[in-house]
Amino acid sequence: MHSIQLLNPEQWKIFKEIRLEALRNSPNSFGSTFEVEFFFTQNDWVNKLRNTKNLHLVALSDNFKPIGLIILKPFKEQVGIFAMYVNPTFRGRGIASELIHAVIEYAIKKKFSEIILDVYDQNTSAIELYKRKGFIFTGVKSTLPYPRKHIIKHQMLLKL
């Protein structure tokens, strides 16, 4: 069993644990890197949870270990999905699916019209996941910053 929880600033250690795990295990799936965020201080982690309009949702196992993460950023009319990650042991059980549904529910409730995200070339599992949820490619492409410019990001969109 697991639960989905919205993190508050006091829970910065949970955020740090799952975020660093994600960056270490899936280095090409995210814009940031383990090497950068490893040096974040307690203040940096707390501020990420406190000083933004972003919402940080985690999946917790039944012994309260973080096993999944998704960050949502409200823009003007769109919600952006960032940092989607599920611990390898817990994959294939619908956890990412639940995290995305939580974002969709939030976006509908707050009357946003679209959800957007970027996914990287060759990330088949994530692409399949997003397609399954109804996201389509917009045709907009970009790259990761130097020195990972060879990794192409594709924008995907879900109309609500």
Ligand X SMILES: CC(C)(COP(=O)(O)OP(=O)(O)OC[C@H]1O[C@@H](n2cnc3c(N)ncnc32)[C@H](O)[C@@H]1OP(=O)(O)O)[C@@H](O)C(=O)NCCC(=O)NCCS
Binding site for ligand X (CB under 6 A): 26, 29, 84-86, 91-97, 119, 123-126, 128-129, 132
Residue 42 or residue 88: which is nearer to ligand X going by CB?
88
Residues 99 and 6: beta-carbon distance below 8 Å = no
Q: Element (H or E) spanning 5, and its range?
A: strand 2-6
- CA 73 from chain center: how many Å? 10
Residue 55 or residue 129: which is nearer to ligand X going by CB?
129
DSSP code per residue over 96-125: HHHHHHHHHHHHHHTT--EEEEEEETT-HH
Q: Is 78 helix (H, G, I), strand (E, B) or coil?
A: strand
> Please, what is the minimum distance in Å from the beta carbon of residue 94 to ligand X?
4
CB proximity list for 48: less than 8 A, separation 6 or greater:
12, 15, 54, 56
Residue 8 or residue 122: which is nearer to ligand X going by CB?
122
Classify the phi-psi angles of 84: left when phi > 0, otherwise alpha if psi is within -120 to 50, otherwise beta: beta
> Please, what is the minimum distance in Å from the beta carbon of residue 117 to ligand X?
6
Residue 85 or residue 112: which is nearer to ligand X going by CB?
85
> Please, what is the minimum distance in Å from the beta carbon of residue 120 to ligand X?
6
> Please, what is the minimum distance in Å from the beta carbon of residue 75 to ligand X?
17
Residue 55 or residue 121: which is nearer to ligand X going by CB?
121
> Please, what is the minimum distance in Å from the beta carbon of residue 111 to ligand X?
25
Residues 144 and 122: beta-carbon distance below 8 Å = no
